[in-house]
Structure 1
């Protein structure tokens, strides 16, 4: 199990972290800890829970101290009463062990994909944001979650599979209309660090067709690609500098020439298949986007088919399938890969 944030703390904070961890594991009502100020206590609590998402039952705290004491009294706030916590512990431990058994013999990359696909298949975004959706009990117990709960579930499963994983968190940005912090994961595959945002891929998978294949737009991104549509991190994290193992590159679905797009689109029309691909031939300007849309439409015209195009412009990923002509214009959706499955209708020639 990776305790990334613990390793970044000084000895005093580590002592607070360790005492806090031991106490909440024992479901203590009060825990005596070395005295730190309120902000430090909050940060330690917050990061301890990112390192240990299996501790789903403690969601807040209060504290008290005497002026001359070197210690403070930490009072955890539990999400359930203690008997119920123990029931959930048994159920979730069994659930995680069962899921992990199915993937123990896989490679690191395959384990990562297994966890990612589990989220896309089994978890829906909780628009009501229930308290348990921020914890692993939401995704793993109820099949719903928000980004925090999903990232925690990913880490718990990766930990069970022996795959290095941590939880990354960025700030909000009211100027851009981003009201909340967002949470995802960083994994280590083959000694290299990569971003993995299962929440965004989940929203894209469910935003298109119910029978669509999973999306991997945020599977093994480097920093440059990730922060095209993610805010800066507010806590330390390893640098992700390798861009060679992005999912669509691995699967030879990352194209650099319009001829490649045309050829694969024609194959999709002929076979009646869904085509998902990444464009990396040049920066995705409006002119380049318009050219790709024209190529996809022209491929359908050859067989009297109209395209349904879903475009994640931030990551230059496109999903297209074709149907018999029953409308006047192709369907083009400019996707907003975000929490809550947001999509926005677009035009064929975006301005």
Structure 2
């Protein structure tokens, strides 16, 4: 993307954005940009500002002195104002409920709100691709999740970007166009895919397979133009790492499961180290659980939901 290189260009771009909120049909600015650069900057604004959901695109009329921008709007002005007001109120309400001053905890709570309350639904409704779907209809596609997550983090002043690329769905292992986020904590960039965490779960247990990942970790089942985005190279921000749920030895896994079962838990989600290799990891984990149940003399039925690319397992027990 061709970036802004002067205060005059930034002033002109800000004028255009402000005029969009006023629903101007024609916006005239000094011809500081080439048509290509201005179009690129405007398209970037549509990606970076989730509130510009009401703008479909732009036509430009260039002259040596001034450039006229003709926006294409997706709603009438009254509908736009009503929807924007609803989204802003919902965002303020949600952010006010987020507790604590630790940014890791805050971005995790924002993740949990979307994972709990927004249903993934595939469809052609344009609202599903913007903040409108998640905040007014409680449903969206991956782009809607990514924009909604950024919208929440923007209000908390936590740097957040939307990544466009491809994702290989852990359930069906089919690669499709996909969108997710990168966030910045402690000056470190990390990947967060709320959509995959929402759709991979079984039952009411939240999953964090794609929270706080490095570029190397996310690249196991995501593909994108890495040179366009910051490098995420810091480890240790994943949810399972932070909560001591990475089982580095068989004994650690057996102790964790044994303690959970004795305390009455019916769901256990844990991760194996990224270095875990070998075929049939799911079968090996299942065998370990079966042996543990026999050792504990617990006659329990169980199912395992697994995400082999990220080495995460969800064991659910029936009591």
Pair in the same fold by TM > 0.5 = yes
What is the SS of the residue equivalent to 1:255? coil
Q: Which residue of 2 aligns with 1:82?
A: 77
- 1:276 equivalenced with 2:269 (yes/no): yes
CA distance 1:15–1:104, shift in 2 (3 Å): same
Q: 1:124 aligns with which of 119, 125, 129?
A: 119
What is the SS of the residue equivalent to 2:222? coil
Q: CA deviation at 1:163?
A: 1.9
Distance in 1, Cα, partners of 2:34 & 2:66: 8
Q: CA deviation at 1:233?
A: 2.9
Q: 1:146 aligns with which of 118, 128, 141?
A: 141
Q: Which residue of 1 aligns with 2:207?
A: 215
Q: 2:129 aligns with which of 113, 130, 134?
A: 134
The question of whether the paired residues in 2 share the 8 Å contact of 1:275 and 1:321 is answered with: yes
- 1:297 equivalenced with 2:295 (yes/no): no
CA distance 1:126–1:279, shift in 2 (3 Å): same
CA distance 1:171–1:61, shift in 2 (3 Å): farther
Structure 1 residues 276-296: Cα deviation after superposition (integer angstroms, max 9, x where no partner): 001007333214443222112
Range 42-51 or range 224-233, more displaced: 42-51
Structure 1 residues 63-96: Cα deviation after superposition (integer angstroms, max 9, x where no partner): 334xx53543322121210011111122222111
Q: CA deviation at 1:13?
A: 6.6
Q: 2:179 aligns with which of 177, 180, 183?
A: 183
What is the SS of the residue equivalent to 1:254? coil
Q: Which residue of 2 aligns with 1:200?
A: 196
CA distance 1:20–1:296, shift in 2 (3 Å): farther
Q: CA deviation at 1:106?
A: 3.1
TM-score (norm: length of structure 1): 0.80
Distance in 1, Cα, partners of 2:95 & 2:301: 42
TM-score (norm: length of structure 2): 0.87
- 1:61 equivalenced with 2:48 (yes/no): no
CA distance 1:15–1:158, shift in 2 (3 Å): same
Q: 1:32 aligns with which of 28, 32, 49?
A: 28
Q: Which residue of 2 aligns with 1:328?
A: none
CA distance 1:287–1:86, shift in 2 (3 Å): closer
Structure 1 residues 289-312: Cα deviation after superposition (integer angstroms, max 9, x where no partner): 432221123233441223210111
Q: 2:243 aligns with which of 247, 251, 255?
A: 251
Distance in 1, Cα, partners of 2:13 & 2:280: 53
CA distance 1:251–1:172, shift in 2 (3 Å): closer
What is the SS of the residue equivalent to 2:175? coil
What is the SS of the residue equivalent to 2:122? coil
Q: 1:51 aligns with which of 39, 48, 58?
A: 48
Structure 2 spans left out of the alignment, 5+ residues: none
CA distance 1:129–1:261, shift in 2 (3 Å): farther
CA distance 1:299–1:46, shift in 2 (3 Å): farther
The question of whether the paired residues in 2 share the 8 Å contact of 1:168 and 1:233 is answered with: no
Distance in 2, Cα, partners of 1:178 & 1:73: 41
Q: How many residues align?
A: 309
CA distance 1:242–1:98, shift in 2 (3 Å): same
Range 82-91 or range 244-253, more displaced: 82-91
What is the SS of the residue equivalent to 1:286? coil
The question of whether the paired residues in 1 share the 8 Å contact of 2:209 and 2:312 is answered with: yes
